Every structure is written in C-alpha cells, then in structure tokens.
A and B are shown apart, each in its own frame.
Chain A
C-alpha cells in the first residue's frame, strides 16, 4: 500500500475544491498563461488570481516563473507524487522477486532436511 503524505493530499484536494482553480488548471492544460491573462479570463482582480495560483502552486499542481514583469504559470509536475509512485513500483518489483526467492529458499530448506535424514539413516 502506498503511504501518501496526508498533508500533501490535503493540499491537492483543497486546491481542487474551487471551481475557479479547476478552470485555471484546464486553461493551463491548453497553454501557459500569465497571471494577468488568467485574471482577465476569469474576470477577477489580479490579487484574487494571485491567491488562487498561490494555492495551486502550494499543492504542486502549478509552477510559476517570473520573466521580466510577467509571471507565467505552467502546469507543474508533482515530483513528490511521481517519486512516491516510482518507489512503490520499485518496491513491488522487489516484492515479486522476493516472493519467488522465498519459494526457492523453502525448497533448499526441504532438500537439506531430506538430505540430513538420508545421512542420519
């Protein structure tokens, strides 16, 4: 079972609980946009949009980069979630190997027991 970081999940859910923020994600899925463009698109003040983008950024869903006077928003890679998923896959690979290794160790044990009996007989 994957143990996700609860605070991380909470942040993602909180970020997605707002219709405007979901709209922003959809919009950024089509193309990157500046905060000004997003504010216009969603008929909001710049300050209001900055807050929404901040929440999305905190949740790792969006990354922003300031070039000159323009802050551009991009759908962010959630690296922590990616790493967690990768490690879980890596663990599953080893677990599968080790389940098979378990059986071989069991065979070797039984063989040893049998051989031991033969020697003592």
Chain B
C-alpha cells in the first residue's frame, strides 16, 4: 500500500480506503457484507441510491435526483451544502451499465476537466468488494480539483502553524 493510503479505523465498520494512485487517478475501496447483485441494486435504483449518496453528516442535502441508469442514459443530481448559497448540480452520462458488476459515468459539471468514474462490484463469496476509480483527463485537472476544494488553504495552515509554535515554545 502506498504512503497516501488512508483508511477508517472505526471499530465495527468495514474499512473505506482512498488513495491517489497516480497523477490522474483516485481509488476508493470498501467491502460490503452482501452479494454483488444487491449492492448493485442499491447503487442503480434511484429510489435506493438517493438514500445514501448525500450523507447528512457532511451537511449535504439531496435536493433532486433524476437518472436513467443504463448505458447511454444520463443523470442529474442537485445537492445543497451550508457553505454554498447556490445548490450545486452534478450531471453526466452513463458510459456503461453492466449488472451486477460495473457502472461507468462521466462528471460533466466540471466541463472538460471532469473525471470519468468507474465502479466495479466484485463478488467475494457473499461479500462484495466495491472499487470506485476516478480518472481525470490530466494531472492538472486532478491537482485543480484538490486545490479548489481544499478547505481554505492558507488561513487554516497558519492556525496549525501557530498551534505548533505555541506548543513548541511552551516546551521551551
């Protein structure tokens, strides 16, 4: 595993890992306790999908969701977040929908810099390993996504630095 791999240490819950695997790619993994066809169903049926895609713990609310989940179909998601006055729209096309193993979609809200997301569902004898793979068109596009969505780069870093300095000075 690479240095950048990050995992959940919370007891009792399956681990979710996330890693930047290359200049252009992010990979998220998780194993679910159920057969692939059920995990696929929860992902591909809009009435089920909208129950888990926008976690309330992140302050995200799902305002609307329309999807035609089949190869060549499209989707449009509108979500709200307290940090953003305007709701955010996410939309794209399904490049491939192959039950119960694979869904591929585009993320067109970012224009030409949007990633292509591939989700695979691997049956592991009653359990399912899900791999979410996001491929950006260029290193710059992924760097930009990270830079623009990072939480106020400078002021926060200064606070941390201040704290470090105070700690160090206290230690004398």
Residue among A17, A77, A96, A106 making CB contact with B153, cutoff 8 Å: A77
- Interface class of chain A by DSSP: helix
- Per-residue CB proximity of A36-75 to B under 8 Å, as 1/0? 0000000000000000000000000100000000000000
Q: Which residues of A contact B89 (CB under 8 A)?
A: none
**Those of A13-54 within 8 Å (CB) of chain B:** 13, 16-17, 22, 25, 29
Which of the candidate stretches B16-24, B64-72, B96-104 sits at the interface with the other chain?
B16-24
Q: Select which of B3, B4, B53 is within 8 A of A97 by beta carbon.
A: B53
Nearest Cβ on chain A to B52's Cβ, whole angstroms: 4
Summarize B's interface: helix, strand, loop or mixed.
mixed
Residue in A17, A98, A104 whose beta carbon sits within 8 Å of that of B16 in the complex: A98
Assembled-state Cα–Cα distance A2/B6 (Å): 6
Contact A101 B42 (CB under 8 A): yes
Q: Is B165 an interface residue (CB 8 A)?
A: yes
Number of A residues contacting the other chain (C-beta, 8 Å)?
Answer: 43
* Chain B, residue nearest A88 (CB): B6
In the bound complex, do residue A108 and residue B42 qualify as a contact, i.e. CB atoms below 8 Å apart? yes
B165 touches A105 (CB 8 A): no
Knowing A82-B153, A85-B150, A102-B32, say if A96 contacts B58 (CB, 8 Å): yes
CB of B144 to closest CB in A, whole Å: 12
CB atoms of B151 and A29 under 8 A apart: no
B63 sits at the interface (CB 8 A) = no
B39-65 residues with Cβ-Cβ distance < 8 A to A are 39, 41-43, 48, 51-53, 55, 57-58
Separation of A100 and B14 alpha carbons in the complex (Å): 12
Kindly list chain B residues whose C-beta atoms are within 8 Å of the C-beta of A108: 34, 38, 41-42, 48
Tell whether, in the assembled complex, residue B157 and residue A87 are in contact, meaning their CB atoms are under 8 Å apart.
no
Interface residues of B (CB under 8 A from A): 3-9, 13-14, 16-20, 26, 28, 30, 32-34, 38-39, 41-43, 48, 51-53, 55, 57-58, 130, 132, 146-147, 149-151, 153-154, 157-158, 161, 164-165, 168-169
A selection of 27 A-B contacts at a CB cut-off of 8 Å is A1-B7, A2-B6, A3-B5, A22-B168, A29-B158, A82-B153, A86-B149, A89-B151, A90-B18, A93-B55, A94-B16, A94-B28, A94-B30, A95-B13, A95-B30, A97-B55, A98-B14, A98-B16, A100-B55, A101-B32, A101-B39, A101-B52, A102-B32, A105-B34, A105-B39, A108-B38, A109-B34
